[in-house]
Amino acid sequence: MTRLAPDVPARAMARSPRVVRRALSAGETWVFAALIILMAIFTGLAPGKFLTLNNLSLNAQTAAPFLLMAVGETFVILTAGIDLSVGFVLVLCGVVAGEYYLSNGGTNASVGTIWIGAILGLLTGAAFGGLQGFAVAKLKIPPLIATLMGLGVAEGLSYLITGGSDLRAVPNTLVSSIGTGYLAGVQWVIIISFLVTLVFGLILAYTRFGRYTYAIGSSPEATLRAGINVDWHLIKVYALSGLMAGVAGIVNLGYFGTTTISAHPLDNLTVITAVVIGGASLFGGRGSMLGTFIGVFIPVLLLSGLNIVGVNQYWQYILTGLVLGAAVYLDQIRRRLRERA
């Protein structure tokens, strides 16, 4: 770019093709286009019902726990790993917090108690994730198996702790704040999930933690030879995923006012699909938080749209599964093209 010509229009013209080129080559653009098309289809099929502030806000609330889990999952997938345990860790963390509330004031628990219970839930998630990370990094158990194992353990623990029935003694203050409360006209659930996504998106893009996450997914060997403690970083990444599931667990607890033990068996499908649609490669090293953010809304809006149009909602799982397959297939093609180039 030349500095000799200070006239703005000329510079803008010289710049715009590059901006356009960048935008077209960025994976996020295509996901965003897909999202717009999806919304256009449902808006056409159900005018005045789908594209309303009310419905969009409802979808953002539905998306919140998925978005939180997808934030952690993005880091994991960028390291070429996978975390299948997310929905189950969400439940476990909610159960741990719920159990604490049950024995400390129940629905009338104080704000202090709520914080302690929430922190216990978050710690549970981080520790659980960290253990899975240990299994992956140190015991060399493939992530698929390590987190499948974790999924079973989290599910079993949740049922053991609760005796099989949902805990409903959720503090009123938690429900009226995080669950149904507003800040400046926006639901807390939405604010928390968007804010967490923004913060970890910045961490991913601008810090050493993010850089090492990409590096490990790209080439663990190269990262190791650069003197980076790959094992420890992997443990931290899985702990982060567990922590995010924990945040989702507390939000979920406040939102529904119960631990919803049996309601999350396919969260991992939704979350992984969202991250992969968002452009993250299952082979690691490529992806972004913006992509994940957009990607989360595709399965969520799909469900909402199908509901409004009157299609049986179980089609959503079938479609989500197929979309996941298609996204991974596209990624394969992209990789092959790049390697040939």
- Which spans of this chain sit near another protein (rule: CB under 8 A)? 206-208, 211, 214-215, 217-219, 221-223, 225-228, 284-286, 338-339, 341
For another protein, which is the closer residue by CB, 163 or 227?
227
For another protein, which is the closer residue by CB, 41 or 228?
228
Closest contact distance (angstroms) between CB of 244 and another protein is: 19
Give the three-class secondary structure for 52.
Answer: coil
What is the torsion angle, in degrees rounded to the nearest 10, for the CA atoms of residue 118, residue 124, residue 126 and residue 131? Answer: 180
Closest contact distance (angstroms) between CB of 10 and another protein is: 23
* Residue 176: DSSP 8-state: I
Identify which of 120, 122, 121, 98 has the alpha carbon closest to the alpha carbon of residue 109. Answer: 98
For another protein, which is the closer residue by CB, 138 or 208?
208
Closest contact distance (angstroms) between CB of 285 and another protein is: 3
For another protein, which is the closer residue by CB, 141 or 203?
203
| Distance, CA of 72 to chain centre | 6
- CB within 8 A of 215, min separation 6: which ones? 222, 223, 226, 228, 285
For another protein, which is the closer residue by CB, 182 or 232?
232
Secondary structure of 195-230 as H, E, C letters: HHHHHHHHHHHHCHHHHHHHHHHHCHHHHHHCCCCH
- Cα dist from 288 to 16, 169, 278, whole Å: 23, 38, 7
Q: What are phi and psi of 186, to 5 degrees?
A: -120, 140
For another protein, which is the closer residue by CB, 215 or 303?
215
Backbone φ/ψ region at 184: left (φ over 0), alpha (ψ -120 to 50), beta: left
For another protein, which is the closer residue by CB, 47 or 227?
227
For another protein, which is the closer residue by CB, 1 or 53?
1
Closest contact distance (angstroms) between CB of 133 and another protein is: 20
Helices assigned H by DSSP within the chain: 8-25, 27-45, 53-78, 86-102, 111-137, 143-162, 172-174, 188-206, 208-218, 220-225, 230-256, 267-277, 289-309, 315-340
Closest contact distance (angstroms) between CB of 25 and another protein is: 11
| Distance, CA of 143 to chain centre | 17
Q: What are phi and psi of 183, to 5 degrees?
A: -130, 120
Closest contact distance (angstroms) between CB of 226 and another protein is: 3
187 forms beta bridges with: 182
Q: How far apart are CA 293 and CA 66, in angstroms?
A: 10
Closest contact distance (angstroms) between CB of 223 and another protein is: 7
* Contact indicator for 32, 301 with CB cutoff of 8 Å: no
For another protein, which is the closer residue by CB, 15 or 225?
225
